[in-house]
Amino acid sequence: MNTTPTRLLIHGASGRMGQALLRLAAEDSSLQVVAAVVRKPPIQRVIDGIPHFAASELAGAPAFDVAIDFSLPEGFDPILALCAERGVGLVSGTTGISDQQQAALTAAAARIPLVWATNFSLGVAVLAELVERAAAALPGWDCDIVESHHVHKKDAPSGTALTLGESALHGGAEPRYASLRAGDIIGEHFVQFTGLGERVELVHRATNRDIFARGALHAAKQLRQRAPGQYRVRDLLGNVIEA
Ligand code: NAD
């Protein structure tokens, strides 16, 4: 068991998720953020003792054990390439990545341990299982997934809605999607199964984005110990889910 702190590179550090990751990592003595990467050259090079780099300076980042990426699809390829080149783990929560980027992720998993997930919350991992079970138990019922997020969210339907849709498909349902963008909603996913004269409704509401950041930090600690491969949130948060 390695007792030295896990050295992290945070990619997308100035964003909503990046800021939550930096704040929570600072409270955890088993983690050390050694680099924060933002899209444009930073005005301040060192903030709270953490060196900041522009995306264009990624190659010059110091040694790290795991990168955590919550950026945008255009930032995804360079951070995946850097982790593959250095042989270190990657935790990515960036949504809206293309099929080509998914394929590159799968290829990189032959060399490094990684996890890409549309949602790092425990509640959504459980919701996905419930959706699959409901879909299997309610054949022929309509299945609708309605997701709501803040007005700044770029992709729609959300990555989480698509993940829940895959669970519904596995269970035999044919999901339809609807998206709402309003105010500062952190994330709500509502899955409705409708039969004749009755409805089953399953819902998850995120009220604080720290849940995603905590899940990603926990996954990073776990990933440091793992062999190359593509892991699911459930594989890495298993002891939290079962606790
Ligand atoms: P945001 O817009 O607040 O932040 C985006 C960050 O990415 C910024 O720091 C920006 O500088 C950086 N960035 C943009 N382009 C870049 C590039 N080319 N190279 C490097 N960095 C770049 O967004 P956010 O709300 O923090 O969300 C970030 C991502 O995480 C989105 O894809 C969002 O959908 C996703 N997300 C995932 C989860 C999850 O649990 N998986 C939860 C919340 C958000």
What's the rounded mean pLDDT across residues 153-177? 97
Domains in the chain with CATH codes: 6-116+210-236 (3.40.50.720), 122-206 (3.30.360.10)
Number of Cβ within 10 Å of residue 49's Cβ equals 8
19, 33, 128 from 67: Cα distances, Å = 15, 10, 26
Catalytic pick among 52, 149, 189, 218: 149
Residue 29 has pLDDT above 90, yes or no: yes
Structure tokens given for 107: 């290829």
Sheet containing strand 66-69, strands side by side: 46-47, 50-54, 31-38, 6-11, 66-69, 89-92, 113-116, 229-231
Structure tokens given for 237: 């948060």
Distance 18 CA to ligand 1 centre (A): 7
Q: Give catalytic status of residue 11 as yes or no.
A: no
* The amino acid at 45: R
Return the pLDDT at 239.
Answer: 54
Return the pLDDT at 167.
Answer: 96
Residue 33 has pLDDT above 80, yes or no: yes
Beta bridge partners of 175: 143
DSSP 58: G
Q: Give catalytic status of residue 204 as yes or no.
A: no
State if residue 17 touches ligand 1 by the CB under 6 angstroms criterion: yes
What's the rounded mean pLDDT across residues 214-237? 92
Per the confidence metrics, is the pTM higher than 0.85? yes
Distance 19 CA to ligand 1 centre (A): 10
Task: Collapse the DSSP code of 150 into the 3-class scheme (helix H, G, I; strand E, B; otherwise coil) and give the result.
Answer: coil
Task: Collapse the DSSP code of 48 into the 3-class scheme (helix H, G, I; strand E, B; otherwise coil) and give the result.
Answer: coil
pLDDT band at 2 (very low <50, low <70, confident <90, very high): low
Structure tokens given for 144: 């609708």
Round the average pLDDT of the chain to a whole number and report it.
Answer: 95
